[in-house]
Structure 1
Amino acid sequence: MNAIASPGQLRSSLLRWALVTVPAVLLLGLLPGRVWTADSVWFANLIKPDIFPPPMWFGIVWTTIFLIIGFALALVCSAWGARGRNAAIIVFTIQFVANMAWSPVFFGQHQITGGLILIAVLDVLVIATIVLFWRVRKFAAVLMLPYLAWILFATVLNYEFLRLNPDADGARVSGAVQRMEI
């Protein structure tokens, strides 16, 4: 069977991939933010940069971005036989793991510097993903651009948190209450 796939078969392949990648990226992407949240004494005590948006926007933007990049991944995954497909999927996976690691580093370990280093690496990995996606499916690369813009903004935000709160970097807040008798 040496026939090229029909347009219907190609659409069906994309749909099947999207049914897997979109929910997977959304659920896995949002998970770290549910476990390691900004609802902590440590984060509440940080001086917030002037560019810090209202907290409600983070959930809205991240949900939208994860849906979009999940579809971008489906476009690449459904490009069977495309040169560079496997490399694009591997680099996407690596950048996605780096993305998921940021919340535990920043919010969990209170490592503002560590978060900044990790997000700078993420910036490079997302650019590499866009380049590789471009070679497989140009539209998939274009879909990754809002993600790049958001993480570049997040990089600046992370830097501003470090600049404004150098003493909070790596600070341990136990949350324990000290009881004193009078």
Structure 2
Amino acid sequence: MDAHSARGLAFAAGPTLAAAAIGSLASRRAPEVYRRLAKPAWAPPPGVFGPVWTVLYTAIGVAGWRLWTRRAGRKALGLHLAQLALNAAWTPAFFAARNRTAALAVVTALDGALAAEIAVVARRDRAAAALLAPYLGWSVFATALTASVGDPAGPPGSTVRR
């Protein structure tokens, strides 16, 4: 493997695995917290999240690899890293800090960063943009869910009690 390919692998795998690891660590109590939330009828069961994120993180990593190997440019690579940083920030805000307001701000910023990344990337690599599209769909769904859930003992928008 040449140096460019090795750096590409590091770019594709490193930030994606870091976001996944942060999310995993911050969501250790997620099933308990999620179960206690006042959720809309369309909220998925807790068992859906793991398999969905496994598929999404794989697609994100492949998209990152494509961006690097096709020399998508600093803007595309920067947006890719920015959305992964926002991805990593949501789970600690929602499940660890239990601050729905902060989590909603983070996931809304994630939606914007992902939409911008897809728009920039689509000009260079339609396949990479297509790999990110389901992630944007899931993120928008997560935004709606984050906005809809509440502490059973408090008003929507409140911080979930421990």
Question: Which TM-score band applies after superposition, normalised by the shorter structure?
Answer: 0.7 to 0.9
Unaligned runs of 5+ in 1: 1-8, 174-182
Q: Kindly indicate whether residue 85 of structure 2 is the aligned counterpart of residue 94 of structure 1.
A: no
Please identify runs of 4+ aligned residues in structure 1 that moved more than 6 A: 12-15
Cα deviation, 1:33-86, whole Å, max 9, x if unaligned, reads 322226265443222221111211101011110111111111110123x5xx11
Larger-gyration structure (1/2): 1
User: Separation in 2 of the partners of 1:172 and 1:114?
Assistant: 14
Partner of 2:68: 77
Partner of 2:106: 118
Partner of 1:48: 39
User: Separation in 2 of the partners of 1:154 and 1:25?
Assistant: 21
Alpha-carbon distance, 1:114 to partner? 1.3
Partner of 1:142: 130
Partner of 2:52: 61
Q: For this pair of structures, how many residues does the alignment match?
A: 160
- State the identity %: 29
The worse-fitting range, judged by mean Cα deviation, of 56-65 and 158-167 is: 158-167
Unaligned runs of 5+ in 2: none
Q: SS of the counterpart of 1:51?
A: coil
Residue pair 1:25, 1:67 contacting (<8 A) in 2 also: no
Partner of 1:37: 27
Q: Kindly indicate whether residue 155 of structure 2 is the aligned counterpart of residue 166 of structure 1.
A: yes
Q: 1:133 is matched with which residue: 105, 121, 133? A: 121
Alpha-carbon distance, 1:167 to partner? 6.2
TM-score, structure 1 as length reference: 0.76
TM-score, structure 2 as length reference: 0.84
User: Separation in 1 of the partners of 2:26 and 2:62?
Assistant: 26
CA RMSD of aligned residues (A): 2.7
